[in-house]
Amino acid sequence: ANIELPDQQTRSAAAQKVKISIYFATWWALNVVFNIYNKKVLNAFPYPWLTSTMSLATGSLMMLISWATRIAEAPETDLEFWKTLFPVAVAHTIGHVAATVSMSKVAVSFTHIIKSGEPAFSVLVSRFLLGESFPVPVYLSLLPIIGGCALAAVTELNFNMIGFMGAMISNLAFVFRNIFSKKGMKAMKGKSVGGMNYYACLSMLSLLILTPFAIAVEGPQMWAAGWQNAITQIGPNFIWWVAAQSVFYHLYNQFSYMSLDEISPLTFSIGNTMKRISVIVSSIIIFHTPVQPVNALGAAIAILGTFLYSQIHHTCGGELAALCKAVKLPGKRNMELRCNMG
Specify the residue, 246 or 329, whose C-beta has the smaller distance to ligand 3PG: 246
Segment lying near ligand 3PG (by CB under 6 A), choices 66-74, 95-103, 130-138, 305-313: 95-103
Helices 237-260 and 265-286: angle between axes, nearest 10 degrees: 160
CB of 115 to ligand 3PG, least distance (A): 6
How big is the CA angle at 71 (ends 68 and 77), to the nearest 5 degrees?
60
Could you tell me if 173 and 333 are in contact, meaning their C-beta atoms sit under 8 angstroms apart?
A: no
- Size of the residue set binding ligand 3PG (CB under 6 A): 4
Under the criterion CB under 6 A, does residue 203 sit at the interface with ligand 3PG? no
Residue 122 in the binding site for ligand 3PG (CB under 6 A): no
Dihedral angle sign, alpha carbons of residues 77, 81, 86, 92 = negative
**Residue 142 Cβ vs ligand 3PG, minimum distance, rounded to whole Å:** 19
Q: How far is the CB of 1 from ligand 3PG (least distance, A)?
A: 46
Q: Is the Cβ of residue 99 or residue 107 nearer to ligand 3PG in the bound state?
A: 99
Between residues 40 and 115, which has the closer beta carbon with respect to ligand 3PG? 115
Q: Kindly write down the DSSP assignment for every residue of 252-299, as one continuous string.
A: HHHHHHHHHTTS-HHHHHHHHHHHHHHHHHHHHHHTT----HHHHHHH
Sign, CA dihedral 191-195-196-198, equals positive
99 binds ligand 3PG (CB under 6 A): yes
Nearer CB in complex with ligand 3PG: 42/291: 42
3-state class (DSSP) for residue 330: coil
Q: List, in sequence order, the alpha helices (H) in the chain.
A: 4-44, 48-68, 79-105, 108-115, 118-128, 136-154, 161-188, 195-217, 220-234, 237-260, 265-286, 293-315, 319-327, 332-341
Question: Is 156 within 8 Å of 299 (Cβ atoms)?
Answer: no
Between residues 96 and 313, which has the closer beta carbon with respect to ligand 3PG?
96
**Shortest distance (Å) from residue 171 CB to ligand 3PG:** 9
Least CB distance to ligand 3PG at residue 337 (A): 17
From candidates 60, 100, 246, 273, binder to ligand 3PG by CB under 6 A: 100
- Separation between Cα atoms, residue 74 and residue 64, nearest integer Å: 9
Candidate list 57, 62, 84, 96; residue touching ligand 3PG; CB under 6 A:
96
If the CB atoms of residues 203 and 295 are measured against ligand 3PG, the closer one turns out to be: 203
Given the complex with ligand 3PG, which of 99 and 179 has the nearer CB atom? 99
Distance from C-alpha of 98 to C-alpha of 94, rounded to nearest angstrom? 6
User: Which residues contribute to the site for ligand 3PG (CB under 6 A)?
Assistant: 96, 99-100, 115
